[in-house]
Amino acid sequence: MQDLDSIADLFVCEQTSPLDNTVTSMDVRKVGNESVVRFDTNLQSFEIINRNGRMYLGDNIWDRIVHDDEIQTCLRGNRWFGEMDHPFNRIETEKLSQARMRKVDMSNRSHVIINPRIKGNLLKATIESSCNDVGKGFRDEVLRGMIPAFSCRAVARMERRNNKPTVIVGKLVTYDWVLYESHPEAEGSENLTLKFVGGNVPI
């Protein structure tokens, strides 16, 4: 079997937090002259066909988190950031580089992911708003009552497992803040963005 770390067939940007997501243990605290909001929530659900007709595996995602030195280093330093929305090219003829997809734009960071953990078929984490203007907007929307939705950004491939289309993640980048989630069970339109970076996509 091919090493997952060598897979670079496509970038996956797919909204993954549950449709009935919740925010718990919310706390607002001072950081210098500003305030940040911190809360617990769900980033992703597993072994469930999402509204795009695909499934993720909890063991696969957890393995990516635990064994990725970059993620582990960022977690230890309280700097596993996510962005407001995904990085997309704004002009149709523009190319979005692999480096941009794999790295968080610090000027667009909205939150930091703390203490990810698996509970049942959910990936849970503590989220804290960033101290920049984007993070303040995120903070204020949460305080207004927004239940945030998160979206997985990863390098992955598609394959069939037990006759179900399954996303196998090779490189997990982050979970970005988005407006439209696709988990758990739901029916609807396609909502998966693929950025091809070479080779054929195995379906």
Cβ atoms of 145 and 37 closer than 8 Å? no
User: Which residue pairs, CB below 8 angstroms and at least 24 apart, start in 87-93?
Assistant: 88/193
pLDDT of residue 182 exceeding 70: no
- Predicted TM-score of the model (pTM): 0.80
Q: Which of 43-52, 130-139, 188-197 is the least confident region?
A: 188-197
Cis peptide upstream of residue 202 (ω within 30 degrees of 0): no
Cα 149 to Cα 62, 78, 196, distances in angstroms: 19, 21, 25
Higher-confidence residue of 27 and 50: namely: 27
- Residue found by looking up tokens 């937090």 in the block: 17
- Using CA atoms, how far apart are residues 148 and 196, in angstroms rounded to an integer? 28
Q: What is the pLDDT of residue 201?
A: 33
pLDDT of residue 90 exceeding 80: no
